[in-house]
């Protein structure tokens, strides 16, 4: 989003306040002009130079006309009172304009942060996988504030520009010849300041970049403080962040020094321009200097009041140039076209009657070429448990992330009771799903509030009941303040098993229809695992459950077990059925439990040998056939030859895997 679009969006949102700011600026300029125009006649009248008033500019004669009918004894006092009144009105308008402009800036800052926060809550998880949280925090905090300063600078430039236009109108009315010369000289003053304004933008870009790097590093160090201390890297991180602080402060000082130089440059160049105008006026009116002295003095008085306004305008330009890079950063943050946004469905999710079906589903992460899941076909009936097992990187967690629509399939479809998952309203769908993962997230809040996060209106009795069912009540009661104990950032004051049991209590309180368990017990000790597994068994009873586990002991009772390898489902069945097949699951089971084939059962061992022998023969036969076609030159098409070669390679790889299973089984038998 460009600055122009952002600014006009802001103007459309608050047209009344923007118009009031400009109107107050114009009113202040008008009363300021009146006060200045009346000062010269009062001074001349006070000095008794009534003759000189006849030579005054037309604007002064117009302003003094209402006072001509007054008695001479009162005329001077009334005009002085008019000047004081005009100055009071001018300052009141300026004060009101400052308040309104400040209110506009605050509203803009608040609105930008609200819009940014809403967008961050609505954007897909893929955005957070590619964007650093420290950068997001910096944009939502510091950069939004600097962007608001840029908007405020534009408003100041508009109001100051209006005031300058009023004074220029007075100057033209007084002497258009001098005004042409003054415009040229004052343009030279603005040109002198252009160098500082250009540098201000460069300093602003540097400051924004250094602020981003500082925020990112501080956030990462604070988040990974355990690792920093474990590696003894406190001094290195201190030096790194200290260097970032010094670089940022140096850039900030350079920016401040550049901004502070604008006013002295304005004053010096302005005085030089003023002296040149005096010399120019003397040259233009050399033949009638006495008769036009009033014109020249009045002109110089008005011009002298314009000079500070030009300095203010240049300062505003410099401030805008310094903060304008933040507008681009905030505009990029508020863009929708460069962020992954899921289309929300219109059907409220009301419940499941049949089950979940994954149909020919494939997936790869946006921006990556490799497939994470390929041609997955699975069915999870309502009220049953489906376990996903396999080696790391097989795609189990990714498959689980697709069910609550953290991502959408690249191809294929997921259906619940025959309805496309994408047709459901995401909020109602996700509220029906409870997720307990290995990396449990807890807020730096009380135990009570962490459990109640699933249902904010839950009663104390419901929270306590959920804690008891999750085997968490006993350790909660031993905490210093019980349910009101603060547990630290991410629950750091609790053990891993305690954090898991709080997460299960939260899921129990939520009472989800669909339960997703992602390695919920893999990082726990034996005692904690038994407590957590007992709570999980209670949680998953009579629910539609999707379980991911490395430990096969936790999924033996599942209604179905799907074995995954390299993004594909290679085996499906119950624990007993998969053991009898003697395939990939049998190998995983044997590896984990280190059992001899007799312990698995002789029938299973024989089934493994028979199945393995058959697979070796069939795959070897297929491989030989493909190679014969290629060697005999029976395939003329180059593309077909490439495809057949690739298929032969895949057959060889599968054959090697089958031989590994056979070799392992033989070793176990020996």
419 close to 579: Cβ distance less than 8 angstroms: no
Domain, as residue range, for 532: 355-577
- Evaluate if residue 40 carries a pLDDT over 50: yes
Mean pLDDT check: name the lowest of 235-249, 254-268, 567-581: 254-268
Q: Please list the residues that pair with 296 across neighbouring strands.
A: none
Shared domain check, 603 and 561: no
Shared domain check, 82 and 122: yes
The CATH number of residue 302's host domain is 1.20.1560.10
- Evaluate if residue 357 carries a pLDDT over 90: yes
Q: Is residue 228 part of a domain?
A: no
- Evaluate if residue 667 carries a pLDDT over 80: no
Considering only residues 603 and 223, tell me which one the structure prediction assigns the higher pLDDT.
223
Q: pLDDT tens, 501-523?
A: 888 888 888 888 888 888 766 55
pLDDT at res. 618: 67
Q: Name the band, by pLDDT with cuts 50, 70 and 90, for residue 413.
A: very high
pTM of the predicted model over 0.85: no
Shared domain check, 595 and 451: no
Shared domain check, 330 and 453: no
Shared domain check, 367 and 511: yes
Q: Is residue 229 part of a domain?
A: no
SS3 36: helix
Shared domain check, 399 and 285: no
The CATH number of residue 527's host domain is 3.40.50.300
**Contacts of residue 307, Cβ cutoff 8 Å, sequence gap at least 6:** 266, 267, 270, 273, 274
pLDDT at res. 334: 77
Shared domain check, 266 and 149: yes
Q: How many domains does the chain have?
A: 3
Average pLDDT score over residue span 542-564: 83
Q: Is residue 460 part of a domain?
A: yes
Q: Is residue 243 part of a domain?
A: no
Average pLDDT score over residue span 540-565: 83
DSSP label of 607: H
SS3 479: coil
Q: Where are the alpha helices (DSSP H) in 224-233?
A: 225-230
Shared domain check, 598 and 556: no
Q: Is residue 134 part of a domain?
A: yes
Shared domain check, 618 and 560: no
Ordered DSSP codes for 420-477: EGGGB-HHHHHHTEEEEESS----SSBHHHHHGGG-TT--HHHHHHHHHHTT-HHHHH
408 close to 569: Cβ distance less than 8 angstroms: no
Q: pLDDT tens, 430-476?
A: 888 888 887 778 888 888 998 988 888 888 888 888 888 888 888 88
Shared domain check, 167 and 305: yes
């Amino acid at each position: 989003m460009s600055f122009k679009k952002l600014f006009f969006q802001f103007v459309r949102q608050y047209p009344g306040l923007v118009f009031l700011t400009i109107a107050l600026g114009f009113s202040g300029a008008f009363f300021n002009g009146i006060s200045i125009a009346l000062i010269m006649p009062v001074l001349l009248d006070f000095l008794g130079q009534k003759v000189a008033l006849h030579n005054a500019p037309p604007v002064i004669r117009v302003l003094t006309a209402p006072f001509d009918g007054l008695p001479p004894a009162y005329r001077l006092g009334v005009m002085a009172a008019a000047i004081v009144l005009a100055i009071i009105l001018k300052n009141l308008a300026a004060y009101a304009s400052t308040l309104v402009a400040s209110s506009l800036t605050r509203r803009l800052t608040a609105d930008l942060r609200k819009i940014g926060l809403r967008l961050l809550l609505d954007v897909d998880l893929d955005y957070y996988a590619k964007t650093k949280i420290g950068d997001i925090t910096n944009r939502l905090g510091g950069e939004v504030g600097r962007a608001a300063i840029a908007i405020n600078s534009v408003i100041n430039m508009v109001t100051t520009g209006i005031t300058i236009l009023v004074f220029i109108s007075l100057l033209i009315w007084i002497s258009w010849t001098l005004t042409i010369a003054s415009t040229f000289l004052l343009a030279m003053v603005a040109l002198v300041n252009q160098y500082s304004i250009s540098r201000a933008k460069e300093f602003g870009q540097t400051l924004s970049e250094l602020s981003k790097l500082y925020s990112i590093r501080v956030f990462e160090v604070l988040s990974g403080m355990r690792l920093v201390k474990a590696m003894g890297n406190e001094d290195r991180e201190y030096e790194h962040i200290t260097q970032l602080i010094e670089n940022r402060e140096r850039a900030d000082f350079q920016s401040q020094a550049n901004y502070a130089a604008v006013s002295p440059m304005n004053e010096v160049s302005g005085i030089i321009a003023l002296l040149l105008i005096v010399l120019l006026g003397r040259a233009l009116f050399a033949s009638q200097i006495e008769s036009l002295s009033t014109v020249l003095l009045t002109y110089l008085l008005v011009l002298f009041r314009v000079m500070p306004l030009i300095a203010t305008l240049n300062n505003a330009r410099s401030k805008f140039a310094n903060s304008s890079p933040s507008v681009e950063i905030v505009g990029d943050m508020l863009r929708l076209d460069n962020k992954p946004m899921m289309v929300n469905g219109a059907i409220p999710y009301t419940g499941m009657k049949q089950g979940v079906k994954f149909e020919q589903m494939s997936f790869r992460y946006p921006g990556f070429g490799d497939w994470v899941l390929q041609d997955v076909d699975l069915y999870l009936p309502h009220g049953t448990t489906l376990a996903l097992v396999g080696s790391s990187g097989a795609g189990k967690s990714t498959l689980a992330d697709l069910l609550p629509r953290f991502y959408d399939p690249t191809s294929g479809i997921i259906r619940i009771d025959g309805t496309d998952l994408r047709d459901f309203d995401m909020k109602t769908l996700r509220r029906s799903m409870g997720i307990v993962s290995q990396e449990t997230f807890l807020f730096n809040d009380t135990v009570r509030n962490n459990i109640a996060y699933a249902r904010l209106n839950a009663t104390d009795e419901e929270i306590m009941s959920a804690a008891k069912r999750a085997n968490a009540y006993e350790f909660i009661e031993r905490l210093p303040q019980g349910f009101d104990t603060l547990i630290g950032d991410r629950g750091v004051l609790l053990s891993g098993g305690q954090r898991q049991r709080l997460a299960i209590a939260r899921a129990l309180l939520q009472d989800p229809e669909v339960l997703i368990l992602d390695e919920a017990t893999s990082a726990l000790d034996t005692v904690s695992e038994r407590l957590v597994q007992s709570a999980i068994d209670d949680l998953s009873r009579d629910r539609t459950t999707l379980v991911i586990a490395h430990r096969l002991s936790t999924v033996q009772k599942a209604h179905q077990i799907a074995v995954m390898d390299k993004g594909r489902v290679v085996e499906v069945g119950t624990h007993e059925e998969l053991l009898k097949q003697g395939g990939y699951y049998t190998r995983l089971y044997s590896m984990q439990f280190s059992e001899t084939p007799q312990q698995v059962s002789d029938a299973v061992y024989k089934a493994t040998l028979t199945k393995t022998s058959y697979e070796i023969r069939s795959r070897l036969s297929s491989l030989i056939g493909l190679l014969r076609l290629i060697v005999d030159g029976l395939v003329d098409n180059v593309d077909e030859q490439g495809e057949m070669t690739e298929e032969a390679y895949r057959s060889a790889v599968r054959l090697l895997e089958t031989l590994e299973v056979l070799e392992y089984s033989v070793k176990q038998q020996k």
